[in-house]
Amino acid sequence: MIVVTTNAELNKIVDSQRSQNKIIGLVPTMGALHAGHASLVERSVRENDFTVVSVFVNPTQFNDKNDLKNYPRTFDADCDLLRSLGADAVYAPSVEEVYPEPDTRQFSYPPIDTVMEGAKRPGHFNGVCQIVSKLFMMVRPDRAYFGEKDFQQIAVVRAMTEALKLPVEIRPCPIVREDSGLALSSRNTLLTPDELQIAPNIYKTLRESLVYAQNNTVAETISFVITTLNAIDGLEVEYYEIVDGRTLQPVSSWEDSNDIVGCITVYCGHTPIRLIDNIRYKE
Ligand code: PAF
């Protein structure tokens, strides 16, 4: 596995693979890798000739300075894991390498990027589009792999890829969970043992809501999820929205769409740690 930190080195590798007509898979990450990332890398290794994993904590997508400062960084362990998974190259640039000057590009794909995370984290998706577009242009992948935990991110990246006509296929991959049901996230390492006990209630409640939804309206189901979770000491729902899986716009009835997803953000514990998850009601 080759580890590169500069665009020039990356370019050389990509040129060489391209000249041999190799199919390139890209797994963009911010490091602190876990089994969820591993599933993306395994899939890319299986489906492509050459897999590049980027490890870069992208400052422009953090709207909270403390979140950026506290974001877990475990580069050596990340490289060990990626080597064991058969990744071919790791691109781990510095902030200066990626942003030699401030990136002033604006990306806007309303209404997909204005709801939920877009509304709660102003500038977040603009930063995601800045880094992902740079990665797509540098790595020139045939396929890129993203985890469905960040459901809205996939929709925004798809919109950007289409708008910029980038020749890359976005491949979403299922959420990987702890045995407890908690969706794997790099942020889980920031949870205390007590918080790790209560956080699984998020997915437990989402699953219960699938049954509840069979005899209740969308509004009642939203209220069921929020009330159940807020009643648990240490959890506070920021939003729970039930949306059309393609447009990400709220649905008001189960008949509104044949693709319906519930997206949640919950603050857990005293720090607090912001956790996201989602569940599909209809597909
Ligand atoms: O999902 C993430 O880890 C990040 O948003 C991504 C796609 C690597 C861009 O920094």
The pLDDT tens digits of the residues spanning 52-95 come to: 999 999 999 999 999 999 999 999 999 999 999 999 999 999 99
**87: three-class secondary structure by DSSP:** coil
* pLDDT for the residue 248: 97
Domain that holds residue 190: 186-276
* pLDDT for the residue 188: 96
281 part of a folded domain: no
22 part of a folded domain: yes
The pLDDT tens digits of the residues spanning 126-146 come to: 999 999 999 999 999 999 999
Which of 173, 206, 236 is the C-terminal boundary of a domain?
Answer: 173
Does one domain contain both 84 and 59?
yes
Closest alpha carbon to 159 in 202, 108, 206: 108
- 58 Cα nearest atom in ligand 1: 10
Does one domain contain both 89 and 227?
no
263 part of a folded domain: yes
Which conformational region is residue 277 in: left (phi greater than 0), alpha (psi within -120 to 50 degrees), or beta? beta
Q: State how far the Cα of 229 lies from the Cα of 198, in Å rounded to an integer.
A: 10
- Note the maximum CA span of the chain: 59
Does one domain contain both 53 and 138?
yes
What CATH number does residue 146 fall under?
A: 3.40.50.620
Does one domain contain both 197 and 135?
no
Does one domain contain both 54 and 164?
yes
Q: State how far the Cα of 226 lies from the Cα of 224, in Å rounded to an integer.
A: 6
How many structural domains is the chain composed of?
2
178 part of a folded domain: no
CB neighbour list of residue 69: distance below 8 Å, 6 or more residues apart: none
What CATH number does residue 244 fall under?
A: 3.30.1300.10
Does one domain contain both 117 and 44?
yes
Cβ of 78 below 6 Å from ligand 1:
no
Q: Which sequence positions are flagged as catalytic?
A: 37
Does one domain contain both 129 and 206?
no
Averaged confidence pLDDT in the chain? 98
Distance (angstroms) between ligand 1 centre and the Cα of 145 equals 10
Mutate to test the pocket of ligand 1, among 52, 107, 153 (most ligand atoms within 8 A of CB): 153
* pLDDT for the residue 239: 98
Cβ of 36 below 6 Å from ligand 1:
no
* pLDDT for the residue 36: 98
* pLDDT for the residue 206: 98
Distance (angstroms) between ligand 1 centre and the Cα of 211 equals 32
Which of 173, 202, 236 is the C-terminal boundary of a domain?
Answer: 173
The DSSP bridge pattern shows strands 260-268 and 50-55 to be unpaired
What pTM value is reported for the model?
A: 0.97
51 part of a folded domain: yes
Does one domain contain both 137 and 87?
yes
* pLDDT for the residue 272: 95
Does one domain contain both 220 and 165?
no
* pLDDT for the residue 53: 99
* pLDDT for the residue 137: 97
Does one domain contain both 158 and 198?
no
* pLDDT for the residue 194: 97
Torsion sign over Cα 232, 233, 235, 241: positive
Does one domain contain both 210 and 108?
no
Cβ of 60 below 6 Å from ligand 1:
no
CA distances from 87 to 24, 47, 173, 176, 273 (A): 11, 12, 17, 19, 30
Closest alpha carbon to 188 in 104, 95, 71: 71
Which of 125, 140, 173 is the C-terminal boundary of a domain?
Answer: 173
| Under 8 Å between Cβ of 171 and 145 | yes
Does one domain contain both 167 and 201?
no
At residue 261 the predicted structure's pLDDT band, cuts being 50, 70 and 90, is: very high
The pLDDT tens digits of the residues spanning 154-210 come to: 999 999 999 999 999 999 999 999 999 999 999 999 999 999 999 999 999 999 999
250 part of a folded domain: yes
* pLDDT for the residue 140: 98
* pLDDT for the residue 23: 98
227 part of a folded domain: yes
| Under 8 Å between Cβ of 118 and 125 | yes
6 part of a folded domain: yes
* pLDDT for the residue 226: 98
